[in-house]
Structure 1
Amino acid sequence: MSDDADQPTHVDLGQHSERCRECDAAVGEAHDNACWTARCLVTGLNRTGCTADHDCGQDLWTGWWPGQLECEQLGWMLRPGVPDLNRLYTEAVWDRDRCLWVKPT
């Protein structure tokens, strides 16, 4: 049996949320340091899992699940409201300057 106590029981990726479900940051506020929703601004991947020797920066809560809007823009959706994040992380490129995933050129 897995220990899912630290994970939310349901995340509706297609819905805008005024607060981060993990750390309760409001839109425009930085996630707390232990928030598993926050991204490393250097790699674009999960900040809590980042083991690289760099400052990950302070990711702000936008109201959308990380990668949601990029998937919608790229047309990489599994169904309405459900982004294909696996495709995003394997095919897209993280643009550090704009802090978003882009289609490779």
Structure 2
Amino acid sequence: MKNIVLIVCIALFGINANAQKKEKTYKVLTACGKCQFDMNSPNGCALAIKIADKNYWVDGSSISDHGNEHATDGLCQTVRKAKIQGTFEGKRFTSTSFVLLSEKQKKKK
């Protein structure tokens, strides 16, 4: 009897562990929504992403988390690629992970 209860408990624990959602990873374009994506922003410069030709404001990461936004390589000046995780909620993306991808250096001939 004890063995049956133990097996049932282990099986339920295993099912519950597999039921946890794993967030999907996306590769997106990112920049200042106001400066680069022409999005209306009541708060000025803010981080945004573009995926499938749609723009989303980002919560959970700010534009200043990724360096000086007004530097020559800053997100107000250029569009960069990023690898992100999180969830979409309407016109916003709530980020749990937001990593800018390094820019590839052009090979000199």
With normalisation by structure 1, the TM-score equals 0.26
Q: Which has the higher Rg, Structure 1 or Structure 2?
A: 2
Q: Which has the higher helix share?
A: 2
